[in-house]
Amino acid sequence: MMASKRRDRFEKVASNRVQKVIDYLNLLGNCANKNNYEYTQKDVELMFKEINRTLKETRILYDKELNKSNKGGFSF
């Protein structure tokens, strides 16, 4: 079965963006080297709190879209 243009576009765009997120997280990981950077436990907690918050919010966007057609509730 042939994929739709919208599906092809999603795969291309999403793949590129996921890879960028992974690349930037790897760059952030480079900052963990205490020989080059100075940070506290609080700094780490704040960074990952924000990353996790944004990740959860983004997941909710996808879940809401996927559940639009499965609203449930009353119908005739």
pLDDT tens per residue, range 2-28: 789 999 999 999 999 999 999 999 999
Asked whether the beta carbons of 8 and 14 are under 8 A apart, the reply is no
Helix (H) or strand (E) holding 21: helix 5-30
Q: In whole angstroms, what separates CA 33 from the centre of its chain?
A: 24
In a domain, 31, yes or no: no
Query: pLDDT tens digit string along 47-72?
Result: 999 999 999 999 999 999 999 876 66
Domain that holds residue 51: 36-67
pLDDT surpassing 70 at residue 1: no
Can you give the pTM of this predicted structure? 0.80
24 falls within a domain: no
- Do the domain assignments include residue 21? no
Domain count, the chain: 1
Q: Are 48 and 55 spatial neighbours (Cβ–Cβ below 8 Å)?
A: no
